[in-house]
Amino acid sequence: MLAAVLKAPHCLEIEDRDEPEDIPAGFVRVAMKSVGICGSDVHYYQEGRIADFVVRQPMVLGHESAGIINGVGPDVSLKVGQVVALEPGIPCGHCQYCRTGVYNLCPYVRFFATPPVDGALQQFLLHPAAFAFPADDLSPDEACLAEPLSVGVYAVRQAAIGLGHEVLVIGAGPVGLATAFAAESQGALVGLIDINPERLRVAHQAGFEAAFSSHEAKQFDVVFECTGTQAGIRGAQSRVRTGGTIALIGMGQSATMPLDSLDIIVRGIRVVGVFRYANTYPSALALIRRYHERLKIFQANRISLGELPHFLATEQYGHHIKTIVSLN
């Protein structure tokens, strides 16, 4: 079987590997069909690292994935032939975070395409059935969107979005759009801002109000910061209403955040950090069903596994809101 293996920065090879044969109890074998390319894959490709996560040995990329079950181990109720979306992070199940339901914070999590764990850009893989979510009514291209949408679902939960809340999303990339869909599904009134006209165009195409970043005075109940930039974080604080919530999602050059702590105190602002997600896949799949048409913006660019090295080498990533690699 073929796999997209990152050997070193700027060196991605399509490699022939052995297919997994023995399926352990509780596992399924999945013929992978669709894997979305994420900013983190591109980052590992270009830099060989993200913060303290360093690629030290060859690693398969990809974590936004869906496929079709083609084998099941003992004690599995899923069936051969089912479309499944794969949740990419397998937590330990025993630590205090796992036991209290915030398994996204598990220090022992094994997450696709986070060194040294191989990712989903391979034609077959074994996965715990408990982290494979059936989506028989969706195509694999749709089902793989459950990963980026999960980030939005979790962010909206952490920010306690409700009916009629006025929400601003800073940054109209894939994470910002996922957050906008999730917030709208909860009854919020959502607007996005960005400085990239192409992203604004796509946000409009997806049916959202989107505008060029500005120093407008309007304030919002909740502001989602999806850029990770200093300007974005400062903007989040100036655009949040007194008593409102800032949710920080975008991971940029962090270290010192330009938040004004006195302003946070006297205006009673709640600041929440959102890292990955937990228990979101059923909700993310429901979002895909609900916003079926509008989510087509994420499926406009498809490439084959063989085209991936050229795609990354020529930096075509930035030209599309999302690119989906077809396997098998």
Q: Which residues make up the interface to Zn ion (CB under 5 A)?
A: 38, 91-92, 95, 98, 106
Kindly state the smallest distance separating residue 103's Cβ from Zn ion, in Å: 6
Compare residues 91 and 115 and give the one whose CB is closer to Zn ion. 91
Compare residues 107 and 197 and give the one whose CB is closer to Zn ion. 107
Compare residues 106 and 249 and give the one whose CB is closer to Zn ion. 106
Compare residues 23 and 251 and give the one whose CB is closer to Zn ion. 251
Kindly state the smallest distance separating residue 48's Cβ from Zn ion, in Å: 18
Largest Cα–Cα distance in the chain? 61
Compare residues 235 and 250 and give the one whose CB is closer to Zn ion. 250
Kindly state the smallest distance separating residue 175's Cβ from Zn ion, in Å: 8
The residues, ordered by sequence, that sit 6+ positions from 319 with a Cβ below 8 Å of its Cβ are: none
- Cross-strand pairs, 122: 3
Kindly state the smallest distance separating residue 206's Cβ from Zn ion, in Å: 18
Cα 147 to chain centroid distance, Å, stands at 5
Compare residues 98 and 161 and give the one whose CB is closer to Zn ion. 98
The residues, ordered by sequence, that sit 6+ positions from 14 with a Cβ below 8 Å of its Cβ are: 2, 3, 4, 5, 305, 306, 308, 309
Distances (CA, A) of 88 to 9, 109, 130, 213: 22, 10, 11, 33
156 in Cβ contact with 102 (< 8 Å): no
Smallest CA-to-CA distance from 42 within 325, 311, 328, 327 is with 311
Phi/psi for 211 (5° steps) reads -140, 160
Kindly state the smallest distance separating residue 263's Cβ from Zn ion, in Å: 32
Q: Taking the CA of residue 168 as centre, how many other CA atoms within 13 Å lie in the half-sphere pointing to its CB?
A: 28
Kindly state the smallest distance separating residue 40's Cβ from Zn ion, in Å: 6
In terms of phi and psi (left: phi > 0; alpha: psi -120 to 50; beta: otherwise), the region of 75 is left
